[in-house]
């Protein structure tokens, strides 16, 4: 089993279960020294650091990029796929799409967790399913493999974003992982060579 650790550069996530919060060069070095195989990047946005810089750091320290997070959209801007406002839902999707594209260039899946929102109404569930479908379409376009191959990870117990809701994406399968700070890496059959989507609840 290969392992990954989250590198968190989002100040608003200070209370979250994230191990490494130092600048990326130092965090990559620490992750490698601790024996991890890969890192997950929890960044403020896709423009926080260039893909080229991430590649250099990954190659320098012999680490893969296991995933990129999207939760900064919720923590910093209050965006979610289940917002009552269509305008805000579209803004949430644009943020997620930017991270899907960023991760896709690194061969890493984008994790969709807190961006799913906290609503629990039937309308919220409908918004969530519609948003997940569009995210799946974007991921499939970026990595060139069917949306039905998406991995659904469920290390959290979010009230709305259940595997049942996400499972409406045809062919998706649920998979329980280790806690978000330290996680099993490579469960997705194509995670090593294309961008995809992972779902948290």
Residues 67-116 have pLDDT tens digits of: 899 999 999 999 999 999 999 999 999 999 999 999 889 988 888 888 88
pTM of the model: 0.77
What range defines the domain where residue 56 resides? 2-199
Q: Choose from 46-50, 128-132, 181-185 the range with maximum mean pLDDT.
A: 46-50
Predicted confidence at residue 173, as pLDDT, reads 34
Number of domains in the chain: 1
User: Does residue 199 or residue 108 have the better pLDDT?
Assistant: 108
Alpha-carbon distance 58 to 162, whole Å?
A: 33
Each residue of 43-56: pLDDT tens digit? Answer: 999 999 999 999 99
CB atoms within 10 A of CB 73: 25
Q: Which range, of 59-63, 106-110, 141-145, 190-194, averages the lowest pLDDT? A: 190-194
Task: Give Cα separations from 119 to 112, 145, 159 (angstroms).
Answer: 15, 31, 8
Q: Considering the chain, what is the average pLDDT of its residues?
A: 76
Instruction: Read off the pLDDT band of 145 (50, 70, 90).
Output: low
CATH of the domain at 48: 3.20.20.150
């Amino acid at each position: 089993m290969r392992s990954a650790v989250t590198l968190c550069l989002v100040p608003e996530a200070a209370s979250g279960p994230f191990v490494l919060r130092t600048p990326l060069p130092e965090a990559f070095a620490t992750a490698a020294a601790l024996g991890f195989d890969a890192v997950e990047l929890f960044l403020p946005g896709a423009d926080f650091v260039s893909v080229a810089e991430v590649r250099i750091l990954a190659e320098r320290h012999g680490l893969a990029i296991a995933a990129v997070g999207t939760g900064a959209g919720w923590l910093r801007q209050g965006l979610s796929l289940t917002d009552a406002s269509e305008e805000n839902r579209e803004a949430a999707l644009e943020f997620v799409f930017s991270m899907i594209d960023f991760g896709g260039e690194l061969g890493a899946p984008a994790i969709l967790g807190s961006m799913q929102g906290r609503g629990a109404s039937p309308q919220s569930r409908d918004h969530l399913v519609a948003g997940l479908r569009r995210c799946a379409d974007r991921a499939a376009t970026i990595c060139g493999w069917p949306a039905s191959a998406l991995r659904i990870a469920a290390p959290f117990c979010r009230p709305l974003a259940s595997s049942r809701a996400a499972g409406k994406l045809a062919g998706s399968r649920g998979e329980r992982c280790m806690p978000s700070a330290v996680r099993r890496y490579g469960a997705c059959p194509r995670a090593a060579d294309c961008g995809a989507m992972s779902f948290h609840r």
